[in-house]
Amino acid sequence: GTNLFFEGFPYQSRMTTHNASWAVPDSAAAATAIATGWKVNSCVLSLALPGDASELETLLEHFKKLGKSTGLVTTSYLTDATPAAFGAHDESRYNYALIAADYLNQTRPNVLMGGGLTGLDAETAAAAGYAVVTDRASLVELDVSLQPRVCGLFGWGYLPYEYDGLGALPSLSDMTVKALDVLRRDPDGFFLMVDG
């Protein structure tokens, strides 16, 4: 007999949650495992380490190759480990400027939204062809029919908890709704990673 209903399912999977170098993974290695299917060392973002340090294809890159629009939304700063594992490749989660450069020059998601600064600023994003918004009002007013690429840089670093009050900053649901407005215009579909 079985103890739990799902134990009777015809298919099951098993997984381990350690990374390649430690029993307890950090968010960079954990997000890399989700984004690429590979276990890597602590602090590594979507590179074969251990291994030959080659770039591991992420889900975002996979779906972009299929012609789909892509996006990253987070309540952390945009270059933090979880979104970075989906949109960048680096040996260290702390190389914020290099992570931002990967976003803007290599993977080029259609939507980037999260906390500002920490390697990515409005001027650099605008120069890379992104419409930049910096508060809830400008996010809500943005006409997505005119903007194929949107970068929301809100505040400095982590966004505050909604419970504590957001002031002029958007909520996770505000960012997600606007990201979906941008991405759903693609008839081929989209990939969106949302991290709260």
Residues forming the active site: 27
d(C-alpha 130, C-alpha 123), whole Å: 10
Outline where DSSP puts E strands in the chain.
69-77, 111-115, 131-133, 150-154, 190-195
d(C-alpha 20, C-alpha 172), whole Å: 32
d(C-alpha 184, C-alpha 19), whole Å: 34
d(C-alpha 138, C-alpha 192), whole Å: 21
Give the helix/strand (H/E) hosting 49: none
d(C-alpha 85, C-alpha 5), whole Å: 34
